[in-house]
């Protein structure tokens, strides 16, 4: 009986090990399948054709950007030459890469362009958000000589401020089109970003 019990115990132990191996194999296959599906979904969600333009937008120290980002809005001055070019050429679906100043061109967020419109904050009728409602507090938002007269609306914002995406862009231009001077392949990195990050929820209040 002891011998039979030992053999039964060995048999059960062997079966348990085989079951464990089978479960591990199934888990690995499932993980690979999920990873493949995620990449396919990512590619389906991204327009990687030449129709998509990557734009680099400077956002100063990032404080004003962070304040208005819950509403998925950024502000620019249409009077600046490079901003005027942007407004004439940007199209829905283009990618916007938000870059801090004096940071080796660090990217703190990326989003999909939706639309732009002139700001109208009164004094008699207010049709768009005021500076205070957007949380814009420094001189760029209030100085008439450098007034942000245009709202940029975007969707699918990814907060990547904790990552270390350095473009090493040195030009002081507030908006520019992505080119070879940027040390990051933005199209490739965008796929990684949407796989690793969730979009920032929009506050429509």
Global confidence as pTM: 0.73
76 contacts 148 by C-beta, under 8 angstroms = yes
**Cis amide prior to 141 (ω within 30 degrees):** no
Number of alpha carbons in the 13 Å side-chain half-sphere of residue 71: 20
> Domain segments of the chain: what residues?
1-45, 54-196
CATH of 54-196, one of 3.30.1490, 3.30.60, 2.30.30, 3.10.590: 3.10.590
pLDDT per position in the chain (205 positions), as tens? 666 666 776 777 777 778 887 777 777 777 666 666 555 555 555 545 558 999 999 999 999 999 999 999 999 999 888 899 999 999 999 999 999 998 999 999 999 999 999 998 777 777 889 888 999 886 554 454 357 899 999 999 999 999 999 999 888 888 999 998 899 999 999 999 999 999 988 877 6
Q: What is the pLDDT of residue 144?
A: 42
């Amino acid at each position: 009986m002891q011998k039979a019990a030992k053999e039964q115990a060995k048999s059960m132990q062997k079966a348990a090990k085989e079951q464990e191996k089978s479960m591990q194999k199934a888990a690995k296959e499932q993980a690979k399948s999920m990873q493949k599906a995620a990449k396919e979904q990512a590619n389906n969600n991204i327009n990687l054709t030449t129709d998509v333009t990557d734009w680099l937008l400077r956002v100063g120290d990032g404080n004003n950007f962070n304040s208005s980002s819950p509403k998925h809005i950024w502000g620019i001055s249409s009077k600046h030459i490079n901003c005027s070019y942007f407004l004439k050429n940007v199209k829905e679906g283009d990618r916007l890469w938000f870059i801090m100043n004096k940071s080796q061109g660090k990217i703190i967020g990326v989003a999909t362009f939706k639309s732009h419109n002139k700001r109208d904050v009164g004094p008699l009728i207010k049709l768009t958000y005021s500076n205070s409602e957007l949380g814009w507090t420094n001189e760029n938002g209030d100085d008439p000589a450098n007034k942000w007269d245009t709202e940029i609306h975007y969707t699918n914002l990814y907060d990547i401020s904790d990552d270390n995406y350095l473009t090493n862009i040195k030009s002081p231009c507030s908006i520019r089109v992505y080119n070879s001077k940027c040390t990051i392949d933005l199209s490739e990195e965008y796929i990684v970003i949407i796989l690793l990050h969730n979009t920032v929820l929009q506050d429509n209040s």
